[in-house]
Structure 1
């Protein structure tokens, strides 16, 4: 069953009504009932009892997102939350790298001590713990220079900042954030593909597919970089979905 995004949003946020000063248009949006006057909601089109939330010329009415625009907002906010969670996790990783850079010797001793503890169990199952890939990888990190680890921590923080800025802009529906998301996400796709070729995992596959889908969806639905008519066509589409625009067109047709 298709989701009625207009009524779904109004049920959560309430109706948005407006009284245009143009008499003919005003008459199409207003109704008299036994309980008093009612005005059509600019989002869902239902009549709501009470005074309108605003009034003035139709061109000054708030542009209330409807239908597809509301669905797009939902998708953008989902992406914003995903970016925010990722940004926070990367900040924690950067902090861990920084802490590790200041105590490599202590961490090395702790690791070697605990590795010795688990060695009898590994020997029992004929597993070469000393030369296991994960153990070799961890030991290689102990040989990294302090300055190298600091550079890695700073790079991770910069990446996290980009993700958090993306999240902020996408949540508010800013067009600059859509451009930033497309450029930043596309730039890291080759790296994600390389990591996947080195080691396949369900998480990496899902992340790669999600990022590819996000780039394609934002590019096409938001008409970025001139695609599908660019920003002019995008704004025209938004206005064509406005209830006032629809009513004005209907009034002209009837006239």
Structure 2
């Protein structure tokens, strides 16, 4: 079952209509009915009753995401939410490390006193606390220098802020955010692979698979780093899906020769909402 992304989006956000100044194109986008004038939505193509939302030269019409571009926007926003949530967790971890570094001695003393109180229970169940891997790992943390913990907290905070910036950029479908997402995510893939060699878990496997798919999807689908024609080919693809471009092509095919819409530098996500 295929999803009609255009009508799905219009049902949630509303239609977008535009009255171009070019007479031939204008006639193809509107009609008169018994209940009033209707205009074609630039996203789903349905006729909408009422005055257009905007007017002017066709080259200045908003470039509304349609079809695949709209589906891509949905996926980017899913990734954006995931990045922001990850950023929140990383920032919380940075705060915890910084808080621990400032009260390291007190926490260490509390841990040792609790450990001493728990030792008779552990001995009763024949559990060797002195050689426990968990206890050893915790005690190693207490040996870290305060400056080391501060540095770790700073790096975690920086990583969390990068995730926030990346998420906001992806939500608004900014091309720089797509580059940032690919570079930042790919840089941490070796670390995630190494973690799997240390300890295998379904959560780590799922996270690694999601990040690999995200990198490949953005890299290939958005034609980054010159792939598949690069940014020029991506812009041409978006313009080719524009309803105005489609109508111009239809007019030419029908024998009504029109000048093609001037190509201007505009974002392929001028209407990301």
Q: TM-score range by the shorter chain?
A: over 0.9
Q: 2:10 matched to 1:10?
A: yes
Q: Which residue does the alignment assign to 2:250?
A: 250
How far apart in 2 are the matches of 1:212 and 1:168? 20
Which secondary structure does the structure 2 equivalent of 1:3 belong to? coil
Give the Cα separation in 1 of the matches to 2:108 and 2:139.
Answer: 8
Matched residue SS, 1:19 = strand
Partner of 1:164: 164
Q: Mark the runs of 5 or more structure 2 residues left unpaired by the alignment.
A: 256-273
Give per-residue Cα distances to partners, 1:184-217, cap 9 Å, x unaligned. Answer: 1111111111111111111111111111110000
Q: TM-score, normalised by structure 1?
A: 0.96
For the residue of structure 1 that corresponds to 2:195, the secondary structure is: helix
Structure 1 unmatched ranges of 5 or more: none
- Structure 1 position 227, deviation (Å): 0.4
Aligned mates of 2:129, 2:10 — CA distance in 1:
60
Secondary structure of 1:31's counterpart equals: strand
Query: TM-score, with normalisation over the residues of structure 2?
Result: 0.90
Q: Report the number of matched residues.
A: 255
CA distance in 1, matches of 2:205, 2:216: 17
* Pairing of 1:93-108 with structure 2 (within 5 A): 93-108=93-108
User: Aligned partners of 1:51, 1:139: CA distance in 2, in Å?
Assistant: 71
Secondary structure of the residue that 1:43 maps to in structure 2? Answer: coil
The CA deviation string for residues 17-66 of structure 1, in whole angstroms up to 9 with x for no partner, is 00111111111110111110000000000000000001111111100000
Q: Partner of 1:96: helix, strand, or coil?
A: helix
TM-superposed CA distance for 1:124, in Å, is 4.7
Shift in Å, 1:109: 1.8
CA distance in 1, matches of 2:139, 2:23: 78
Give secondary structure in 1 for the equivalent of 2:51.
Answer: coil
Higher helix share: 1
Residue number in structure 1 paired with 2:258: none
Which residues in structure 2 correspond to 1:50-199 (within 5 Å)? 50-199=50-199
2-structure distance, mates of 1:14, 1:97: 46
SS in 1 for 2:48: strand
Q: Select the structure with the greater relative contact order (CA < 8 A; seq sep ≥ 6).
A: 2
Bigger drift between 64-73 and 20-29 goes to: 20-29
Counterpart residue number, 1:47? 47
Q: Which residue of 2 aligns with 1:219?
A: 219
- Once residues 240 and 92 of structure 1 are traced to their aligned partners in structure 2, the CA distance between those partners, rounded to angstroms, is 45
- Supply the distance in 2 between the matched residues of 1:149 and 1:87 (Cα, whole angstroms): 19
Cα RMSD, aligned residues only: 1.2
